Amino acid sequence: LSELSQNPKENGMHSIRIIGLDADDTLWHNENIFEQAHIRYRRLLSEYHDAQTLDEALLKTEKKNLRLYGYGIKGFMLSAIETAISLSGGRMRTKEIQAILDMGKEMLDHPVELLDGVAETISTLAESHRLILITKGDLKDQQSKLAKSGLSQAFSQVEVVTEKNPDAYAKIFQRHEIVPAEFLMVGNSIKSDILPVLSLGGAGVHIPYHLQWVEDCVEETPEPSERFMVLDSLQKLPAILKK
Amino acid sequence: LSELSQNPKENGMHSIRIIGLDADDTLWHNENIFEQAHIRYRRLLSEYHDAQTLDEALLKTEKKNLRLYGYGIKGFMLSAIETAISLSGGRMRTKEIQAILDMGKEMLDHPVELLDGVAETISTLAESHRLILITKGDLKDQQSKLAKSGLSQAFSQVEVVTEKNPDAYAKIFQRHEIVPAEFLMVGNSIKSDILPVLSLGGAGVHIPYHLQWVEDCVEETPEPSERFMVLDSLQKLPAILKK
């Protein structure tokens, strides 16, 4: 980090009153649950196909179905069943489809595992800033995870959106009377959490997670500026914001 | 309808400033899409089981999975696949599971068909009242239907909730600074649209739809009062509210 970004008076973060926080892979682990599911899926279908063929076919099915299914585990389950049937050329047995259903239910029922230091950091941030949870995905699933996380009291609002684009953030700004110059978005996705908010005049803090869904990857991270920085942990945010 | 309820000065509707409207089977047809799907499902599995056995087994699976899947078409698809596998004792072919996937995608892609007179009535109501769409179900699916309906401009807010209980309505009242005495909820479900709102001091107008998911049925409709009435069509609401 440059010295500039460490000093809130100069780094453009001193004006921040409201912090938007992404949830999956920013507050709690999520992509590792999908990664584990992919491993089980490859094993389940290993007699029919190699891992790469499976991964590519599943991703292609997921992208094709995104318009209808949106993000989330239920859509993943349906795409995984469709891919399995299609790739096996009809040789698939029902017990393998049942195994995909069981796997998806375990994913939905998975305990919420917070990233290191998140509970304490969110509690600290809530003392000085208004916090809004902004997450994309399945409403039922995200609300269930928030309830299990034990963090819900810290957030003054919760916004579950189907897509994190400039239009979605603009609507959130309007609904909560948010001035973009006072808004900071924190998350693990450059594409979903950072770029749309910077484009609207807000600030962004990128906290990379070690796994990312390939469709959420962007090639370039913006240059650090007074409105954008990269941190390796949420635990470092309170110090950055402290005046 | 009693004379009392026809006169807004006396029927308790004169204080209404904000109208909450349910979406599925209140503004647009929905349950008929599920009914068609059930008919196709019975036909698809007719060589294994009779219609009643299928219907009962599917409902049981749906109820069991509701905690994990919530409401909506994707959860219905997953429960339909699970039921088919379970009932067939493993004899199920993959082409039949593919047929369930295809059926679900058609449901998700189904055009939105407004009930009679809804477009004009919503437009009339929006001139005199603040309108909020309050619907339960899948976020992606409900937003997609609202966009396709052509009605979105009429609503000042859209609330998609996972369950329509008193707690969910209380949160909506708080978020939008709604005084219950000024709030009227309009919908086809006594259980989801009327009872929780009456319990919070709001008013309710029940507009029955000719089909209802058995789990949304309640045995008793409240007695008509100054805070509750039954109408056979949304088109009659503006006259009821007119002073």
- Residue-wise pLDDT for A82-117, tens only, equals 999 998 877 778 889 999 999 999 999 999 999 999
B77 touching chain A per CB within 8 A? yes
pLDDT of residue B215: 64
Q: pLDDT > 70: what percent of chain A?
A: 91
* Predicted-complex ipTM score: 0.84
pLDDT band (50, 70, 90) for residue A213: low
Chain B CB contacts of A88 below 8 Å: 94
Has residue A32 got a pLDDT over 80?
yes
pLDDT value of position B91? 77
Contacts of B184 (CB under 8 A, 6+ apart): B13, B16, B18, B19, B20, B202, B203, B204, B205, B241
Any bridge partners for residue A145, and if so which?
A: none
Question: CA of A98, closest CA in chain B: separation in Å?
Answer: 7
Q: What is the pLDDT of residue A43?
A: 94
CB contact under 8 A, B101 and A81: yes
Nearest chain B alpha carbon to A88: B94
C-alpha angle B12/B13/B16, rounded to 5°?
Answer: 120
Cβ-Cβ pairs closer than 8 A, A with B, add up to: 85
For testing the chain B interface, which of A71, A73, A74 should be mutated: the one with the most B CBs within 10 Å?
Answer: A74
Q: Cβ(A108)–Cβ(A141) under 8 Å?
A: yes
Q: In this structure, how many other beta carbons lie within 10 angstroms of the beta carbon of residue B215?
A: 11
DSSP annotation of A225 reads B
Q: Name which of B85, B160, B161 is nearest A94 (Cβ-Cβ).
A: B85
What is the C-alpha separation between A102 and B173, in angstroms, rounded? 38
**Nearest C-alpha neighbor of A190 from the set A230, A156, A161, A154:** A230
Taking residues A54-74, report their average pLDDT. Answer: 94
Measured between alpha carbons, how far is A178 from B205 in angstroms, rounded to an integer? Answer: 35
B97 contacts A81? CB cut-off 8 A? yes
Query: H/E element holding B200?
Result: none
Nearest Cα neighbor of B158 from A148, A23, A20, A172 is A172
Residue A221 confidence (pLDDT): 82
**Shortest Cα–Cα distance, B202 to chain A (Å):** 24
Query: What pLDDT is stored for residue A2 in this prediction?
Result: 41
Q: Which residues does chain B have with pLDDT short of 50?
A: 1-5, 7-9
Residues 79-98 of chain A with CB under 8 A from chain B are 81-82, 85, 88, 90, 92-95, 97-98
Q: Is the pLDDT of residue A216 over 70?
A: no
Contact B125, B131 (CB under 8 A): yes
- Specify the pTM: 0.84
Mean pLDDT score of chain A, rounded to an integer?
90
pLDDT given for residue B2 in this prediction: 41
Which A positions 149-208 lie with beta carbon below 8 A of chain B?
Answer: 157, 160-162, 175
The reported pLDDT for the residue numbered A88 is: 81
Question: B31, B1, B69: which is closest to B231 by C-alpha?
Answer: B1
Give per-residue pLDDT as tens, A145-177: 999 999 999 999 999 998 999 999 999 999 899
Question: Which chain B residues contact residue A139 at CB under 8 A?
Answer: 70, 138-139, 160-162
DSSP A141-183: HHHHHHHHHT-GGG-SEEEEES--SHHHHHHHHHHTT--GGGE
Sheet holding A183-187, edge to edge: A157-161, A130-136, A18-21, A183-187, A203-206, A228-230
Q: Please give the share of chain A, as a percent, with pLDDT higher than 90.
A: 74
